[in-house]
Amino acid sequence: MFKTRLISGIVLVIIALVLIITGGDVLLCSMGIVSCIGMFELYRVFKIEKNALGYAGYVVLAVYYLDLKFHFIPDMMMLVIGALMLILAVYVFSFPKYHANQMMAAFLGVIYVGMMISYVYLTRMLPMGSFFVWLIFLSSWGCDTCAYCAGRLFGKHKMAPILSPKKTVEGAVGGVIGSVLLTLLYGLIMKNFFEIDEKVLLIMMVATFIGSFISMVGDLAASAIKRNYEVKDYGTLIPGHGGILDRFDSVFFTAPIIYYIAVHLLK
């Protein structure tokens, strides 16, 4: 199991490297595909992956990614409100076919899975985005790896004993510290290729520090949904890891955080 997980993780990192270095339409299409698969996995938990509620979510997702390319929606809140109205219309006019929690899950999927992961692309397209985008993964996957190691070595106090019995406070602290140190190392190495001064390096470390804490919320949020619906994994797409939601749950949360920190602090 560990060998399979390790090999899958390495392959995933290589794919991420290729896609993010390439950027542009390739990354945009890739994020759209990842979003669609992730929404399908979430919708499957609520049994709406292949019916009108699910299709409404997929339509909104398609419109959103088309707008990222062609910019035809003047205010993104229009799409959010439109998505809610469309999903509510399906819910109302097919009542009582769907339960209220299915309707809310359909809307949640659009925001939580569809839109939040797109901030990987949006961060990559910023000035210096090819450099800053990696903080998303340092504060999610980096934190997760460091937390696992610290937890195995020093873990004693349970962080969320009911929701995730294996996670410890010591592991969480180690994850945050580890991801910040990895960011420092990354910044020092990349100074040879980008104009990085002390201010930018400090912003990077602050961004990763905040992102690491937020990434744990993302991880636990996905776990909480699984616990509520007694699901082991969201899928089997990634051997040893599960589905898109199992592997990218923390990335969903760190991507918007890193993007907005980059936008507002790197001026």
The domain ranges of the chain are 19-125, 127-267
Residue-by-residue pLDDT tens, the chain, 267 positions: 557 776 887 888 899 889 999 999 999 999 999 999 999 999 999 999 999 999 999 999 999 999 999 999 999 999 999 999 999 999 999 999 999 999 999 999 999 999 999 999 999 999 889 889 999 999 999 999 899 889 888 988 898 888 888 899 999 999 999 999 999 999 999 887 777 888 888 989 999 999 999 999 999 999 999 999 999 899 888 887 889 999 999 999 999 999 999 998 776
SS3 assignment, position 228: helix
So what's the pLDDT on residue 2?
Answer: 58
Contacts of 9 (CB under 8 A, 6+ apart): 240, 241
User: What residues contact 31, with CB distance under 8 A and at least 6 apart?
Assistant: 65, 117, 118, 120, 121
pTM of the model: 0.94
Nearest 5 degrees, angle CA 151-CA 154-CA 158? 60
Q: pLDDT tens digit string along 142-184? A: 999 899 889 888 988 898 888 888 899 999 999 999 999 999 9
Take residue 215 and report the two structure tokens written for it. Answer: 């990434």
13: its two tokens: 């990192």
Chain centre to alpha carbon of residue 158: 24
- At residue 10, the pLDDT reads 82
